[in-house]
Chains A and B, each alone.
Chain A
């Protein structure tokens, strides 16, 4: 069990904002932290890892105390059993992929874990490359592998997949899940993506303006507010044509062109170039598997 109580003044674009949260995470769980930018999500990870100090903080991991501001106790970052994956990867440009992983070893550690992780993350062909030549997805795999070398109890992921395209995201989500299960980690991930949270996490914590506003399983937290049988799209009118007694309005939304039927009275209010909302309450969506 990880018990975290934090109080810290955050400096945000809109002035000061107190981050005041208290949360308990069970061992082995995958927990996501969701919320708007500047809500204090990353700060929670940073305080837990010891990278950021807080005015008041109590952190207890299993039986050991990591932070106790009443007793002015602060366990140094180096002694906390964590793996941290930074948003911008933070790979060491002077080292190769393999050396980045080996850097994390302590003096007497066996190098076995490094080869094991290189294999698990499918980095064999890249292991002697310098990290600056890698693609975003490859860098992320190296960062993930490096964070596991010390076999930490807790894996902290700060928006690990935000810089990647969809295909890469799906692949890396599988890697994250694989690692989480294989090494019995307790994983805490900051994420903006609801599908990602659904796919990966057991628990989700919604943070807004420095407070926890909701917590529970992804289903209970997101179902009521985000998922419904109603479809809504925004787009722009690109053409209006008359077809027999009705009008056809063409709307461009994302990569799609949608055709909607309208009456003569309705068309009078529309202009080409207008931004519009297309909504439908009852129809039969078809789901097609893409990958």
Chain B
């Protein structure tokens, strides 16, 4: 019988990461879409960086930054008693950074594709930016929000390099499925590796299938 802990840990990590990213990304995307800030391109490039950077590079920098030997890690450790290296909290923060583009990109393109007149019409009807965002803009990019949530969740499930660097492989703390597979293979337990890999494969496939089914449907029914 295989150990189920890595599966639960992975699901927990993916769920928390997705929730945090949803909360961060909505205001971030609203700002990116409507502000006239000159260095916006720099911010957008930084957000997209995890798409192209090898996960080990990102993981390496995060490991250095989180280390209590260095300023940021020392500050967290001294003032908040928080340790981010080889802990679940550190894994969450690393995942949030690593999966950021998977949440931001769909939401941002959803907002950019809305006709500007929708927001303007809401303003002329006396509504604030906040009401306009929650009652008009977000409900009209439901498909994009859904894509962002699903893609972030699926992407976090499949993390390996960053997790290995920042989290190591501590059972019930940082040992997620992808790392469990690696370790099973290393110790020649191909059967266990097969079960973990199969579950991850099927789960990821069903998630992506759901995204595409929903997107095809919404293209037929939504105007914008």
Residues of A participating in the B interface, judged by any CB pair closer than 8 Å = 49, 51, 77-80, 82-84, 86, 88, 90-94, 103-104, 106, 132, 146-147, 149-150
B212 at the interface (CB under 8 A from A): no
Using a CB–CB cutoff of 8 Å, the interface residues on chain B facing chain A are 115, 117-118, 120-128, 135-136, 139-140, 142, 222-224
**Residues of A contacting B224 with CB < 8 Å?**
93
Chain A residue, CB-CB nearest to B224: A93
Report the number of A-B residue pairs with Cβ-Cβ less than 8 Å. 58
Majority SS of interface residues in chain B?
A: helix
Q: Whole-angstrom distance between the alpha carbons of A146 and B224 in the complex?
A: 20
A90, B120: Cβ atoms under 8 Å? yes
Question: Do residues A94 and B120 form an inter-chain contact, with CB atoms below 8 A?
Answer: no
B139 & A94 in contact (Cβ 8 Å cutoff): yes
A82 touches B223 (CB 8 A): no
Residues of chain B contacted by A103 (CB below 8 angstroms)? 122, 125, 127, 135-136
Residue of B117, B127, B135, B142 touching A90 (CB-CB under 8 A): B117
Docked-complex contact B124 and A77, CB < 8 angstroms: yes
Judge whether B118 and A51 touch: CB under 8 Å: no
Q: How far is the CB of B29 from chain A (nearest CB, A)?
A: 18
B125 and A94 contacting across the interface, CB-CB below 8 Å: no
Give every chain B residue within 8 A of A150 (Cβ-Cβ): 125-126
Q: A86-B117, A88-B117, A103-B135 are in contact. Are A93 and B124 (CB under 8 A)?
A: no
User: How far, in angstroms, from A55 to B107 measured CA to CA in the complex?
Assistant: 33
A84 to B224, CA, bound (A): 21
A86 to B120, CA, bound (A): 9
Q: What are 12 inter-chain pairs, A to B, with CB distance below 8 A?
A: A51-B124, A77-B123, A82-B124, A86-B120, A90-B117, A90-B118, A90-B121, A94-B140, A103-B127, A104-B125, A132-B223, A150-B126
Query: Complex Cα distance A79/B125, Å?
Result: 9
A92 in contact with B118 (CB, 8 Å) = yes
- Check A94 against B136 for contact (C-beta < 8 Å): yes
How far does the alpha carbon of A91 sit from the alpha carbon of B122 in the complex, in Å? Answer: 9
A132 to B127, CA, bound (A): 22
- Apart from A78-B123, A90-B118, A103-B136, what are 11 other A-B pairs with CB-CB below 8 Å? A51-B124, A77-B120, A83-B124, A84-B121, A88-B115, A90-B115, A90-B121, A93-B140, A94-B136, A106-B126, A150-B125
Bound Cα distance A31, B77 (Å) = 68
CA distance A147 to B136 in the complex (A): 16
Chain B residues, CB < 8 A from A51 = 120, 123-124
A132–B224 alpha-carbon span in the complex (Å) = 10
Compute how far the CA of A78 lies from the CA of B122 in the bound complex, rounded to whole angstroms. 9
Could you tell me the distance in whole angstroms from the C-beta of B223 to the nearest C-beta in chain A? 5
Residues in chain B near residue A84, CB distance under 8 A: 120-121, 124
Chain A CB within 10 A, most for which of B123, B128, B142, B222: B123
Write the nearest CB–CB distance from A186 to chain B, whole angstroms: 16
* Residue of A49, A78, A82, A91 touching B128 (CB-CB under 8 A): A78
- A150 and B123 alpha carbons, distance in the complex (Å): 12
Complex: A82 Cα to B125 Cα, angstroms? 8
- Separation of A179 and B9 alpha carbons in the complex (Å): 62
Which of B115, B118, B124, B136 is packed against the most chain A CB atoms within 10 Å? B124
Ranked nearest first, the 4 interchain pairs of A and B with the lowest CB-CB distance are: A90-B117, A90-B121, A94-B139, A104-B125
B202 to chain A, nearest CB (A): 34
Most chain B beta carbons < 10 A, residue from A77, A91, A94 = A94
A10 and B139 alpha carbons, distance in the complex (Å): 34
Q: Which A residues are CB-close (under 8 A) to B121? A: 84, 86, 90-92, 146
CB distance A93 to B117 under 8 Å?
A: no
- Cβ of B142: which chain A residues have Cβ within 8 Å of it? 94
